[in-house]
Amino acid sequence: MKRKHDRFKLSLRTAKWMAFPLMFLFVGCGEGPGSDTSGGAGTSSEAAMDEEGMMPARRQKAFKKIFHAVPSPIETAMLLERSGINFDSDALHDLDKAVGYSTTELQSVNLGIYAGDLSYSVIFNQNQQSVDYLNTCRRLCDGLGVGDIIDADLIARADNNRDIRDSLVDIVTDTFYALNARFRENGMEEVSGLMAAGGWIEGVYLGTRSLNTSTEDLKLRIAEQKMTLDNLMGLLASYPPTDALNAMKEALRPVEAAFAGVSITENPAAATAAEDGTVIISGGPDVSYDQATLAAISESIAAVRNQYAQ
């Protein structure tokens, strides 16, 4: 199957705001809108090399790239909702298992997984479940030494706003901005990388649970995740090797092999103005895949997800 982004029209006024949703992506290292993401020359962080010979600014740019390239857990959940799938509580990670994660590796990856489930619950208006998953994220944050980010006041605020989806979306987004900032401050960027991997894995996992009834749009979005996986593997490889990072990279190898069945050809985008004041956007990548490839992606992502969510 070969698909590409459809052409669409929008007013000139609307066109100016096409990039606005990017403001709501989780930004790497906790830098939100308005932060300096240019990495301009002349800063001490770019001039100095770390112990592994990589410029800290380069590593932060790689981390930002993965968060800009992949939808946040909230946006992934919104995509699932727009695709018309039904909420499936059985697909979520068991809350009770969080108490068994005692290593930094498992706490980091599962924080990402639970963040995906939290977002999924929020978007599908599973109000009490949303608060439960936020509490579980708090437990894992305690183990990672950042428990004050999700404190009793934040839990209470979420509970008081659990019937207001937009408020919960803001709370979840702000919380993970704060988490990434704290990991950076504590010299724990590797933890953010593992959390990003966990969140991506869970998003693809939730999106592939019902492939037989999925919309064509959702299938296309899943296939497009090949580009995000490439970025994620590059991010994980940018760190000095550790047992945890090596294990994650090896766990993702079968997923890479499955995505090899997806072919993505970049085409230049074009924008033309029509006489009626609209702008026609065309171009974008051609994405080719078949059902066997999607089935392989679904099987491989379930295997790696269940490896960590034991």
- Per-residue tokens: 262: 């997806």
Mean per-residue pLDDT of the chain: 78
Phi, psi (rounded to 5 degrees) for 28: -55, 145
The residue type of 1 is M
pTM for this one?
A: 0.77
CA 205 to chain centre: 12
> Distances from the Cα of 113 to the Cαs of 54, 158, 202, 220, in angstroms?
29, 19, 5, 22
- Report angle CA 120, 304, 75 to the nearest 5 degrees: 25
Task: Please state, as a whole number, how many other Cβ atoms lie within 10 Å of the Cβ of residue 38.
Answer: 9
pLDDT at 113: 96
Q: Are strands 270-273 and 263-265 parallel, antiparallel or unpaired?
A: unpaired
The residue type of 249 is K
How many residues would you count in the chain? 310
pLDDT at 59: 59
Give residue-wise pLDDT tens across range 54-91: 455 665 665 555 555 555 677 778 877 887 778 889 99
Question: How far is the C-alpha of 95 from the C-alpha of 90, rounded, in Å?
Answer: 12
Give residue-wise pLDDT tens across range 206-256: 989 988 888 888 898 899 899 889 988 988 887 778 899 999 999 999 999
In the chain, domain spans: 55-263+290-308
The residue type of 127 is N
DSSP state of 38: S
Per-residue pLDDT at 131 exceeds 60: yes
> Distances from the Cα of 164 to the Cαs of 22, 92, 118, 128, 240, in angstroms?
22, 22, 15, 12, 43
Give one DSSP letter per residue of 99-141, joined into a string. Answer: GG--SHHHHHHHHHHHHHHHHHHHHTT-HHHHHHHHHHHHHHH
Question: 294: Cβ–Cβ under 8 A, 6 or more apart, which residues?
Answer: 208, 211, 219, 222, 223
Kindly report which listed range (65-69, 132-136, 143-147) carries the lowest average pLDDT score.
Answer: 65-69
Contact 198, 179 (CB under 8 A): no
